[in-house]
Amino acid sequence: AQRVTQPEKLLSVFKGAPVELKCNYSYSGSPELFWYVQYSRQRLQLLLRHISRESIKGFTADLNKGETSFHLKKPFAQEEDSAMYYCALSERDTGRRALTFGSGTRLQVQP
């Protein structure tokens, strides 16, 4: 069965510092990876999909199949980036649409 691991429950950085939120996955087939963000008292929002290879709000994430990782990075954190971040996986090869989520990392950006 697939699994998504986010090893850090909390990541605290200062404004302007680089950020890396870690995500590792376990899946024997071809995965599709996502990052979702949940700002305080708001809904889960899609931040990135690995197949689109885009940068949203300065965040990027690269799928590393050798290391089975999909870490989320931003070179200079902003206070408004403070939120809960969830990594998620779906089975791209089977067409199943269910998402498997990691446990989430709370990012705190201090002034």
Sites of contact with another protein (CB under 8 A): 32, 34, 36, 42-46, 49, 51, 86, 88, 90, 92, 95-104
| Residue number with CB closer to another protein (21 or 77) | 21
Question: Minimum CB separation from another protein for residue 13, in Å?
Answer: 23
Question: Minimum CB separation from another protein for residue 108, in Å?
Answer: 18
| Residue number with CB closer to another protein (38 or 108) | 38
Question: Minimum CB separation from another protein for residue 29, in Å?
Answer: 12
Give strand pairing partners of 108: 12
**Please, how many CA atoms are within 13 Å of residue 43, restricted to the half-sphere of its CB?**
2
Question: Minimum CB separation from another protein for residue 60, in Å?
Answer: 16
Sequence-distant (6+) residues with CB within 8 A of 111 are: 14, 15, 79
| Residue number with CB closer to another protein (4 or 109) | 4
Q: Which amino acid appears at position 3 of this protein? A: R
Q: What is the 3-state secondary structure (H, E, C) of 54-81?
A: CCECCEEECCECCCCECCEEECCCCHHH
